Structure 1
Amino acid sequence: MQDQGIPANTAETRKGRHPKSLYVLFLVEMWERFAYYLMVGILLLYLIDDKTGGKGLTEKMGADIVGSFIALVYLTPFIGGLLADRYLGYIKSIFIGGTLMALGYFGLALPGNTALYVSLCLIIVGNGFFKPNISTILGNIYNREDLKPLKDNAYNIFYMGINIGALVCNFVAAYLRNKYGWGYAFSAAGVGLIIGLIILASSLKNVREGEIKKEKRPEDMPIGKIFGYVFLPAIIAAVIGWIVPTMLFGTTIMGSKSNDAFIFACLPIIAFYVSLYIGAKGQDKKGIGSLLFIFAISIIFWTIYNQNSTGLTLWAQKHTDRTVSPAGEKIAGSLGFMQTVSDSPRLVNKVDQYFVDIKDNAAIAGPAGNGNVKLVDGNIVDKNTRVVQVMGPDPYFNNVPKSEWPEKGNEKLANTELFQSINPLFIIILTPLLVLLFSFLRNRNKEPSTAAKFGMALFISGLSALVMVFAIMSVNSVYLEKTSPYWLWGTYFVFTISELLLSPIGLSLVSKLAPARLTALLMGGWFLSTSIGGKIAGVMTSFWDDFTDKKVFFLILVISAFIGGILIFSRLKSLNTIVKDKTGSA
């Protein structure tokens, strides 16, 4: 362990080249993100699937689970960053987190709801140890004076590695779930993560330069107090959020008990970050204050970002034309990227005294007095295995005229999750172009400041949601017609530009402005904003059917993003000054 972060390959850094450690971390993160995005890309589809071995939940329940998972998976970096800063160190934390996540991915292949929830918990905890600390190691390496000018570009390159994994994983998921089933797809995620850990273990000499020991200071709050002041109140607040709203109002505040519990639990953690600002002094106070402001605004961006796994997944599944040309079908079919959907009966929207209301046509038994009925192979049957309720067509046919249904009762379509590869594809294409553009502008002293990039990103992310408004307007009714897949290509293209301006730069900004002893902890704060945004995305999607005019759903995102951009630019001058004072450049 080196305490000054001096790279072993100083000859390379003197020439302005990136050190080997960047490419090691690039590969490790690529495989870790391959695993994560494979899993999260099919999670909602798996939960609501009632035809091919999925859980058969309603869309509302599925969106609630996915939103809660995304929220928690980005909330735990607060804990993992804290433990790494104070006790474990960054490399050890990465191995702990990676091992837990791999176990979780393999666990998702096991049958039963217990295995599902235990596995999701393992992934949530594991991500908390892994995610903030690999980013912190990269930031530590680039804190050297001769590497600081390359820091933003390093995070862009690092971010491209993330998206290579995110691009490839959806094709692997489609092939495995089509050919062998959901369990094989989830297991592939576990294999990918193990590959990443092997790469890290074999290249430790290149990354140890980022394992910088932080000096303890008298003003640092002991971890025991943090658990007493933050986590215990968070647990109590979560219990209150789960119980009290329904007791007082007869209903939940945010649509479900889990949503209320999460929002309540966040309040003590947010209060802790505010206390860091209040207790800080001088440049530390300015840096922490700027980061908290950025974190708050970033919630809007992450809400739009996480539509990828929630709202836009439903849009791709139910409202997008997924048919493929005969030539394309032959190629995609041979590669295993086409799924079969059927117009054979599926659960109809009819309810009797034994079942809960199922307005989104997904199959879930809601026993209200008859313990002899259950869900078997997608049908609700009685104790004599006689079908009590039959099934309706696949959701894809909900807005396809019956006259256009396939003659043989089945149709080959592109897998829904393949659309989630559009965003990482554009990132891989656009990242080198953006790096070259900013290098060109930087050489002429015209590069936008980091804060300006944030403001631009908010506006552009709002424009990506506006593309979906035009998609809805392109048809007479989204309930009667499919929209062109090119609208999803368009919204992902526009959003990718905003993502490249904000997401990798955000990691860089935390490493620039955070006090050295709090770097990983404030990385956790950055992921906390991602967490809240993911939860809001899940909450919005759980009300998907309540938006009879889908334009309203996306216009909420447009307006919120524009407001966030305005707020950033209203403080642009002060933000630029703080960054310059802290780092020597804006």
Structure 2
Amino acid sequence: MSQTLDAGAGDVPDYPQLLGHPRPLWMLFMTEFWERFAFYSVSWALALYIVAQFYHGDAAGQGWASSIFGAYTALIYATGIFGGWVADKLIGYQRSILLGAAVMAAGLFTIMLPDRQMLLLGLALVIVGDGLFKPNISSMVGQLYGRDDPRRDRGFTLFYMGINAGAFVAPLLTGWMASYFTSTPLEQNYKLVFAAAGVGMLLSLLWFWFGRRSLRGVGRPAAGSENRLRVVWVLIGVVMAVPLVYLLLSRIGAAGLQWLLGLLFVGVATMLVVEALRHDRIQLDRVIAMLIIFAFNVLFWMFYFQLGTSFNFLAENLVDRQMFGGWVFPVGWFQSVSPLAILLLAPPLTVIWGALARRGLEPSIPRKFGLGLVFNGLGFLGLMYGLSRLLDVHGLIPFWPLALCYVLQTAGELCLSPIGLSMVTKLAPPRLVGLSMGGWFLSLAVGGNLSGLLAGRISGESGMTAASALSGFTFSFWLLAGAGVLLLLIAPLINRLMHGVR
């Protein structure tokens, strides 16, 4: 089957149905569940581990930890561009996913070694592996449906539940392991977190390996590209890419990386526009609409990714986590609030979107994105209130403003992120769906790196204070709210560019 058909532009196999969707969707659901378990285990612990292991708990380490987390997050998503291209042009989606999973697992176990260089090497392996894995498994969800199948958006929302089921379980289990599993110092307990992440990634690899036959050839290499020697060449490329990513993490710095990501974004946009020009004006307009949405997506994730840095430092140092009976709420558990809210809200939201669609009232893609930005901003408004009005004599705010921020950000995420994945598969040029999905993740990369720069600015040289947090979160609210309102105002223009795609 050609890559064009794989991308969902033509016919798809007549899959058996389960709960109203193609049965392979649920195999991809669980593959993604375990990969996200691994990813979010590292995400909540990484910055805290760096401060504990390499700065002996000194808050002065928050700046470097934020920079590394931001660069790691950025490169995780930026490498998706190359992973999408590898799948589109060289080895197909299935082989890319399997190779990426194996490389990621190796990196997760390497992070356990208590050395800065090995930490960065392990992160480099995870980054390169995830670049092969993440955009391609998301692209495969779109390939299970015809381009005009009305279930596509709802299928992506269900798939997004798999992402967030893994994200929910990861901080609960590994946060407990880090806090209570042993009596060793905290930096030692974090190594158990990384070990659990490695096991989760191996489970993801095995799940896809045994379940891929249900795809009935979808995601296999394009005709003429079946030669397994191509996999060897891609593996050689991986071996060459890892030292490069290591140097980006260790040498170039967050500011330099931002310039590199910006140039990369321009390059991807140019390739998509050139490909669209080979089709017709409608395809060009759709690519332009997609790129506008990408720009607003950068802002959303710049502030959302504070969860791994400034929100963690806030929770650790400025939030009263004392609960009933003297029990202290683990820092990592805050990051289970958002995926729990998604698991609870995604099914009714799917029903609501479907009901509105039947009445012709479902919000368009740009309007959903605008709502996502506004909800994200409202989360920071809650933190502003807590930091300006609710500080106690110990300099701590109550538990609920941070928890509420996660819930409101979740509402915004549900309006935006699963819809964005579906949008790419509907607006992208048929021959470059994988590259387009890589472009989507590149917009997350730019936002992720900016998140590290912002978190570092909030922490400053001596660590986060209530005053610095209030200043940073106030800036966050006004920028998000303004961007959301602007997008809602220009939504009709973007809708015209999309030529009927909703």
TM over 0.5: yes
Could you list the runs of 5+ residues in structure 2 that have no partner in the other structure? 183-188, 225-239
In the other structure, the counterpart of 1:544 is: 458
In the other structure, the counterpart of 1:260 is: 255
Q: Does 1:205 align with 2:213?
A: yes
Q: What is the alpha-carbon distance in structure 1 between the residues aligned to residue 64 and residue 74 of structure 2?
A: 15
Cα–Cα, structure 1 residues 501 and 66, in superposed 2: closer, same or farther, change >3 Å? same
The one-letter amino acid of 1:493's match is V
Find 1:270's aligned residue among 252, 265, 272.
265
Q: What is the alpha-carbon distance in structure 2 between the residues aligned to residue 52 and residue 302 of structure 1?
A: 28
Are the equivalent residues in 1 in contact too, given 2:79–2:131 (CA < 8 A)? Answer: yes
Cα–Cα, structure 1 residues 23 and 65, in superposed 2: closer, same or farther, change >3 Å? same
In the other structure, the counterpart of 1:520 is: 434
In the other structure, the counterpart of 1:61 is: 64
The one-letter amino acid of 2:458's match is W
In the other structure, the counterpart of 1:94 is: 97
Q: What is the alpha-carbon distance in structure 1 between the residues aligned to residue 112 and residue 203 of structure 2?
A: 19
Cα–Cα, structure 1 residues 215 and 285, in superposed 2: closer, same or farther, change >3 Å? farther
> Shift of the alpha carbon at 1:498?
0.6
Equivalent runs, 1:158-237 vs 2, <5 Å: 158-177=159-178, 178-180=180-182, 181-211=189-219
Please say which of residues 467-476 and 160-169 is displaced more in the overlay: 467-476
More helix by share: 2
Equivalent runs, 1:80-479 vs 2, <5 Å: 80-143=83-146, 145=148, 148-177=149-178, 178-180=180-182, 181-211=189-219, 258-279=253-274, 280-281=276-277, 282=280, 283-326=282-325, 329=327, 413-476=328-391
Are the equivalent residues in 2 in contact too, given 1:167–1:424 (CA < 8 A)? Answer: yes
The one-letter amino acid of 2:470's match is K
The one-letter amino acid of 1:415's match is P
Are the equivalent residues in 2 in contact too, given 1:138–1:210 (CA < 8 A)? Answer: no
Find 2:52's aligned residue among 49, 54, 65.
49
Cα–Cα, structure 1 residues 140 and 54, in superposed 2: closer, same or farther, change >3 Å? farther
Cα–Cα, structure 1 residues 133 and 55, in superposed 2: closer, same or farther, change >3 Å? farther
RMSD after superposition: 2.9
In the other structure, the counterpart of 1:360 is: none
Q: What is the alpha-carbon distance in structure 2 between the residues aligned to residue 47 and residue 242 of structure 1?
A: 14
> Shift of the alpha carbon at 1:570?
3.4
1:322 partner SS: coil
Find 1:567's aligned residue among 482, 486, 495.
486
2:398 partner SS: coil
> Shift of the alpha carbon at 1:267?
3.2
Are the equivalent residues in 1 in contact too, given 2:29–2:159 (CA < 8 A)? Answer: yes
The one-letter amino acid of 2:44's match is G
The one-letter amino acid of 2:374's match is F
Q: What is the alpha-carbon distance in structure 1 between the residues aligned to residue 347 and residue 154 of structure 2?
A: 10
CA deviation map 1:543-577 (0-9, x unaligned): 22347343221121112212322332233123223
In the other structure, the counterpart of 1:40 is: 43
The one-letter amino acid of 2:398's match is S
> Shift of the alpha carbon at 1:541?
1.0
Q: What is the alpha-carbon distance in structure 1 between the residues aligned to residue 101 and residue 57 of structure 2?
A: 26
> Shift of the alpha carbon at 1:482?
1.1
Find 1:535's aligned residue among 446, 449, 458.
449
1:441 partner SS: helix
Q: Does 1:12 align with 2:17?
A: yes
Q: What is the alpha-carbon distance in structure 1 between the residues aligned to residue 49 and residue 416 of structure 2?
A: 31
Cα–Cα, structure 1 residues 474 and 28, in superposed 2: closer, same or farther, change >3 Å? same
CA deviation map 1:25-73 (0-9, x unaligned): 0000000000000011101111111599889971111111111111111
Work out which of the two has the higher radius of gyration on C-alpha atoms and give 1 or 2.
1
The one-letter amino acid of 1:201's match is W
In the other structure, the counterpart of 1:346 is: none
> Shift of the alpha carbon at 1:172?
1.7
The one-letter amino acid of 2:213's match is K
Please say which of residues 526-535 and 259-268 is displaced more in the overlay: 259-268
Could you list the runs of 5+ residues in structure 1 that have no partner in the other structure? 217-230, 244-256, 330-412
In the other structure, the counterpart of 1:349 is: none
Cα–Cα, structure 1 residues 173 and 51, in superposed 2: closer, same or farther, change >3 Å? farther
The one-letter amino acid of 1:518's match is L
> Shift of the alpha carbon at 1:518?
0.9
Are the equivalent residues in 1 in contact too, given 2:139–2:425 (CA < 8 A)? Answer: yes
Cα–Cα, structure 1 residues 539 and 58, in superposed 2: closer, same or farther, change >3 Å? same
Q: Kindly tell me the number of residue pairs found equivalent between the two proteins.
A: 464
Higher relative contact order (CA 8 A, sep 6+): 2
1:83 partner SS: helix
Are the equivalent residues in 2 in contact too, given 1:137–1:207 (CA < 8 A)? Answer: no
Equivalent runs, 1:491-506 vs 2, <5 Å: 491-506=405-420
Q: With structure 2 as the length reference, what TM-score do the two structures score?
A: 0.86
The one-letter amino acid of 1:302's match is W
Q: Does 1:487 align with 2:401?
A: yes
Cα–Cα, structure 1 residues 573 and 116, in superposed 2: closer, same or farther, change >3 Å? same
The one-letter amino acid of 1:552's match is S
The one-letter amino acid of 1:310's match is T
2:151 partner SS: helix
> Shift of the alpha carbon at 1:141?
1.4
Q: What is the alpha-carbon distance in structure 1 between the residues aligned to residue 367 and residue 217 of structure 2?
A: 31
> Shift of the alpha carbon at 1:125?
0.4
Q: What is the alpha-carbon distance in structure 2 between the residues aligned to residue 242 and residue 189 of structure 1?
A: 23
Are the equivalent residues in 2 in contact too, given 1:140–1:212 (CA < 8 A)? Answer: no
1:192 partner SS: helix
Are the equivalent residues in 2 in contact too, given 1:288–1:514 (CA < 8 A)? Answer: yes
Are the equivalent residues in 1 in contact too, given 2:95–2:220 (CA < 8 A)? Answer: no
> Shift of the alpha carbon at 1:140?
1.4
Cα–Cα, structure 1 residues 211 and 278, in superposed 2: closer, same or farther, change >3 Å? closer
The one-letter amino acid of 1:72's match is L
> Shift of the alpha carbon at 1:154?
0.6
CA deviation map 1:77-134 (0-9, x unaligned): 0111111111011110001111111111111112322221110000010110001000
Find 1:30's aligned residue among 28, 33, 37.
33
Cα–Cα, structure 1 residues 53 and 143, in superposed 2: closer, same or farther, change >3 Å? farther
Q: With structure 1 as the length reference, what TM-score do the two structures score?
A: 0.74
1:188 partner SS: helix
The one-letter amino acid of 2:498's match is V
1:58 partner SS: helix
> Shift of the alpha carbon at 1:284?
2.4
CA deviation map 1:196-222 (0-9, x unaligned): 111111111222453166699xxxxxx
> Shift of the alpha carbon at 1:322?
1.2
